[in-house]
Chains A and B, each alone.
Chain A
């Protein structure tokens, strides 16, 4: 093996050298920082990193912190409604656009443009529209509906729905675009066959077409889930976590504790919890979507 391996390396030496930057990025920037982050979560680090070992006490503290629990609860609510609405809306848009409509490209452009804009912009726009003093509420009152109330961004009970609205506006075009691409790839024979059998169109979509689009559906849901777990900018721009802590999210909790509250141990414990959550969601998806299909792809 020794001589053989040496010959193999020699023949492909430049390729090995060319992949060094990637190796360095994986080993240092991804694995190394990840290990360090997890390590810090077991220390008592505050403003500066410490090398002591305090067991799980940061995690115990973390789940005693009301702000963190609020953040987690908020994320669950936002993610649930965000994914559900984006999925339903994206499906409906794709299916309706697929009915040979005129001005199709205009519709596609309008539904997807928010996805091209940054989350900061999305947050700021909706903060402005939902602003009770000058936005829709004021406009409706000006039109004579004096009891009209739309105060989501300043109402602790409704603020999460304001964020859901902004993120749905931003993200549902993605589902539409991916599903529409999938719908265009459906064999027209299937449509002919179902027409001959006299199956109603909605039934065909629900029981035949959508199951066939499963790869696109999973892709879009994975992309959206990742974006919602990472969600930070839209909250900072729209509410900055307020009113009070009503719209705090985990990503923001971590950033605040890292850079403003100087509580590195707690922040890294929180980021480790996020890491584990993502891995739990991703492991089955990755296994079925990527590793199993490609097998030993070398």
Chain B
């Protein structure tokens, strides 16, 4: 977006010699860093369209001589993890199966928590909330082993419910914070008027609060889709062999293959895995930044 130059006072005059070089410097700096940031994506993309013969020559920056989508097809349908050659699509659908319920339930719970915390008087709720926020700073490694034991006792260890529940647990601090902050900015008179009219907890939530939550829900969806899709550790530990998410399968494909590594397939697989969060990022634009800023436990 080009920003319009500030109006009024600004007097049009030719830039001085110094100012011109200043502008050149700014663009040179930004341009060089943009290249550095973009480079990996570029290398991945061109490599994924090359054949192995071409890759062995070792020119990672050149465009493919013989453009081919074989690597993408192979990555999706027949890349191997160990002896299992079913491709990355298995992981993709596993991730979808994990993301959809985890995201829906954690957003719903976050909204309910945020609503109860901002509008209702519940003794001890703020202490609970403070504990929850503190919990979000603690490394997962502290919680993982006891959770594994509890899940094993309950007979759900290594299953879809286990990984969904885990994402709900670890998503709760941020989701609750997000909705609590948003709801405390809503006019409290609205809530009071509904109370006077005799509306109860759920009535007010579904009829008044939820319809006003669209903007923050979009932010929550963006955050949860990217966070859960990009998760590796929790999926590895809790999902079980049959539900391994795409990130875990990607790492298995790339790092456990024997013999010569099919770099083009690996690169295509890496691109495929980032496709969902990248699309979310490119489509959501400023909303994504808003998510980062408001999801941060901040001052």
* A15-B201, A134-B263, A223-B296 known; A113 vs B172 contact (CB < 8 Å): no
* Pair B292/A177 contact, Cβ less than 8 Å: yes
Q: Which of A257-291 contact B (CB under 8 A)?
A: 258-259, 264, 267-268, 270-272, 274-275, 278, 282, 286, 288-291
* Pair B247/A278 contact, Cβ less than 8 Å: no
Q: Among B112, B130, B141, point to the contact of A274 (Cβ < 8 A).
A: B141
Q: Which of B196-231 contact A (CB under 8 A)?
A: 200-202, 226, 229-231
* Pair A37/B2 contact, Cβ less than 8 Å: no
* Pair A169/B40 contact, Cβ less than 8 Å: yes
Q: Looking at A22, A37, A115, which has the most chain B CB atoms within 10 Å of its CB?
A: A22
Shortest beta-carbon distance from B114 to chain A in Å: 10
Q: How far is the CA of A31 from the CA of B143 in the complex (A)?
A: 9
Shortest beta-carbon distance from B120 to chain A in Å: 4
B257 CB contacts on chain A under 8 angstroms: none
Q: How far is the CA of A135 from the CA of B266 in the complex (A)?
A: 14
Q: Give the residue name and chain of the B residue nearest to A230 (CB).
A: B139
State whether the Cβ of B5 lies closer than 8 Å to any Cβ in chain A: yes
* Pair B270/A289 contact, Cβ less than 8 Å: no
* Pair A124/B266 contact, Cβ less than 8 Å: yes
B200 CB contacts on chain A under 8 angstroms: 14
Q: Among B27, B132, B230, B266, point to the contact of A30 (Cβ < 8 A).
A: B132
* Pair B232/A126 contact, Cβ less than 8 Å: no
* Pair B128/A139 contact, Cβ less than 8 Å: no
* Pair A222/B296 contact, Cβ less than 8 Å: yes
* Pair A33/B109 contact, Cβ less than 8 Å: no
Q: Among B39, B145, B254, point to the contact of A40 (Cβ < 8 A).
A: B145
B121 CB contacts on chain A under 8 angstroms: 8, 12, 15, 298
B43 CB contacts on chain A under 8 angstroms: 125, 128-129
* Pair B296/A105 contact, Cβ less than 8 Å: no
* A139-B60, A282-B137 known; A258 vs B144 contact (CB < 8 Å): yes
Q: Among A30, A120, A135, point to the contact of B247 (Cβ < 8 A).
A: A120
* Pair B26/A118 contact, Cβ less than 8 Å: no
* Pair A18/B112 contact, Cβ less than 8 Å: yes
A12 CB contacts on chain B under 8 angstroms: 120-122
* Pair A233/B40 contact, Cβ less than 8 Å: no
Interface class of chain A by DSSP: helix
Q: Give the residue name and chain of the A residue nearest to B3 (CB).
A: A100
Q: Looking at B27, B57, B146, B147, which has the most chain A CB atoms within 10 Å of its CB?
A: B146
* Pair B146/A36 contact, Cβ less than 8 Å: yes
State whether the Cβ of A70 lies closer than 8 Å to any Cβ in chain B: no
A40 CB contacts on chain B under 8 angstroms: 145-146
* Pair B145/A135 contact, Cβ less than 8 Å: no
* Pair B142/A33 contact, Cβ less than 8 Å: yes
Which of the 9-residue segments B74-82, B96-104, B275-283 touches chain A? B275-283
* Pair B58/A26 contact, Cβ less than 8 Å: no
* A12-B121, A100-B5, A119-B230 known; A32 vs B274 contact (CB < 8 Å): no
* Pair B233/A26 contact, Cβ less than 8 Å: no
* Pair A129/B39 contact, Cβ less than 8 Å: yes
Interface class of chain B by DSSP: helix
* A117-B277, A134-B263, A290-B299 known; A102 vs B2 contact (CB < 8 Å): yes
State whether the Cβ of A219 lies closer than 8 Å to any Cβ in chain B: yes
Q: Which of B39-80 contact A (CB under 8 A)?
A: 39-41, 43-44, 47, 55-61
* A31-B131, A110-B34, A116-B278 known; A222 vs B297 contact (CB < 8 Å): yes
Q: Looking at B34, B142, B266, which has the most chain A CB atoms within 10 Å of its CB?
A: B142
* Pair A142/B57 contact, Cβ less than 8 Å: yes
* A104-B3, A113-B278, A113-B281 known; A32 vs B128 contact (CB < 8 Å): no
Which of the 9-residue segments A60-68, A79-87, A91-99 touches chain B? A91-99
Q: Looking at A97, A99, A126, which has the most chain B CB atoms within 10 Å of its CB?
A: A99
Q: Among B2, B29, B56, B141, point to the contact of A271 (Cβ < 8 A).
A: B141
State whether the Cβ of B85 lies closer than 8 Å to any Cβ in chain A: no
Q: Among B61, B138, B169, B251, point to the contact of A275 (Cβ < 8 A).
A: B138
State whether the Cβ of B190 lies closer than 8 Å to any Cβ in chain A: no
* Pair B288/A275 contact, Cβ less than 8 Å: no
B243 CB contacts on chain A under 8 angstroms: none
* Pair B232/A119 contact, Cβ less than 8 Å: yes
* A16-B122, A120-B250, A222-B296 known; A134 vs B56 contact (CB < 8 Å): yes
* Pair A22/B172 contact, Cβ less than 8 Å: yes
Q: How far is the CA of A222 from the CA of B292 in the complex (A)?
A: 12
Shortest beta-carbon distance from A32 to chain B in Å: 7
**Those 3 A-B pairs whose CB atoms lie nearest each other, nearest first:** A138-B58, A118-B230, A116-B281
A-B contact pairs, 10 of them (CB 8 A): A12-B122, A16-B122, A110-B34, A121-B273, A126-B40, A139-B59, A177-B293, A236-B251, A275-B142, A293-B299
Other A-B pairs beyond A33-B143, A33-B147, A116-B277, 19, CB < 8 Å: A16-B122, A18-B116, A22-B109, A22-B128, A37-B143, A113-B41, A121-B270, A134-B56, A139-B60, A142-B59, A178-B293, A233-B232, A233-B233, A258-B141, A258-B144, A271-B141, A271-B142, A286-B297, A291-B130
- B interface, CB within 8 angstroms of A: 1-3, 5, 26-27, 29-30, 33-34, 36-41, 43-44, 47, 55-61, 109, 112-113, 115-117, 120-123, 125-126, 128-135, 137-147, 149-150, 168-169, 172, 176, 200-202, 226, 229-233, 237, 247, 250-251, 254-255, 263, 266-267, 270, 273-274, 277-278, 280-282, 285, 288-289, 292-293, 296-299
